[in-house]
Amino acid sequence: MAATIDWATTPAAVWRRHRSGLRVIRRLDPIQWQALTGIERQQQALARNTERFLAGDPSNNVLLWGARGTGKSSVIKALLNRYQDRGLRMIEVDKDDLVNLPEIVDDISDLPYRFVIFCDDLSFDVGETGYKALKSVLEGSLELPPENVRVYATSNRRHLMPEFMSDNLKSELRDGELHPAEAIEEQVSLADRFGLQLSFYPFSQQVYLQAVDALFPDVADRAALHQAAIRFATAKGVRNGRSAQQFYRHFAGDHNPER
């Protein structure tokens, strides 16, 4: 499977279930690290962990969780563009294909590259079992997880699994100590396997406008630009990095963004 890919010239691949193999990603998102705004704290922590991983120092699997459209996926894409020349490689695996994760990892564990397994929009519903394969890769079983593989996942859920009020009602108080119900333990235990957890929150108006300014560096009338950008976000009902990008795609090239 992995032997068919020349990783010396291939920075990224994606798992395709129907062909039961990896497909080279030929058109990478060109987003650059310095183009991201409003998430500097998260970028700094992610860069430090990745640099330690590339250097062979102890490093963590990473969970980026929080509000939608706030840059979780973008920062992973920018990370690959920043570090691919230093040996970073990335394999994207859909949540529904995590059952194949142990086989994917087996085929890359002896290669002279550092691989990030990228799981975007990761979450599990009641009855799904794919997280069990993920657990084995995160922490190993009888066999330790490979040193050249880390998992970077994004999610809107902090604990990756659904949380119900009924789960809390099943918790018990014993000898003055609270013992969470088994369902809660299961929810928390998966997220706990990610040693580095980075939270992303909705943009303030100031941060949103900073993102807009970065996308429109040549617009002279900032007041008009900001007014149009605020109207655009208000109409969508959400103010985040994704809204700024969509505003850019809608108005880029217009001499008058007020239209």
Structure tokens that stand for 153 in this block = 């996942």
Evaluate if residue 170 carries a pLDDT over 80.
Answer: no
Q: Same domain for 48 and 29?
A: yes
Per-residue pLDDT tens for 99-135? 888 889 999 999 999 999 999 988 777 666 666 778 7
pLDDT over 80 (residue 174)? no
Q: Residue 168: what pLDDT?
A: 44
Q: Do residues 181 and 223 share a domain? A: no
| 185 shares its domain with 210 | no
Where among 159, 176, 200 does a domain terminate? Answer: 200
The reply to whether 173 falls in a domain is yes
The answer on 104 and 33 residing in a single domain is: yes
Short-list 97, 85, 113, CA closest to 5:
113
Q: Which residues pair with 133 in a beta bridge?
A: none
**Rounded Cα distance, 259 and 251, in Å:** 9
Q: How far is CA 78 from each of CA 9, 34, 113, rounded to the nearest angstrom?
A: 18, 9, 18
Q: Dump pLDDT digits (tens) for 211-246.
A: 999 889 888 899 999 999 999 999 988 888 889 999
Average pLDDT over residues 133-150: 80
Statement to judge: residues 135 and 224 lie in one domain: no
Rounded-to-integer distance, Cα 185 and Cα 172, Å: 13
Q: Is residue 242 part of a domain?
A: yes
In the chain, the number of structural domains is 2
Question: For tokens 């330790």, what's the residue?
Answer: 144
Contact 59, 150 (CB under 8 A): yes
Same domain? 26 vs 144: yes
Q: Are residues 165 and 244 in the same domain?
A: no
Identify whether 259 is part of a domain.
no
The segment with the largest mean pLDDT, out of 141-145, 150-154, 199-203, 220-224, is 150-154
Both 27 and 71 in one domain: the answer is yes
Q: How far from 92 is each of 40, 78, 97, 142, 183, CA to CA, in Å? A: 24, 14, 10, 25, 29
Predicted confidence (pLDDT) at residue 165 exceeds the cutoff of 50: no
Contact 205, 234 (CB under 8 A): no
Last residue of a domain, one of 200, 219, 240: 200
Is residue 96 included in any domain, yes or no?
yes
Q: How many whole angstroms separate alpha carbon 150 and alpha carbon 143? A: 15
Nearest CA to 24 among 16, 36, 14?
14
Q: Which two tokens stand for residue 90?
A: 């990335």
Its pTM surpasses 0.85: no
Give the range of the structural domain holding residue 100, as residue numbers without chain letter: 2-200
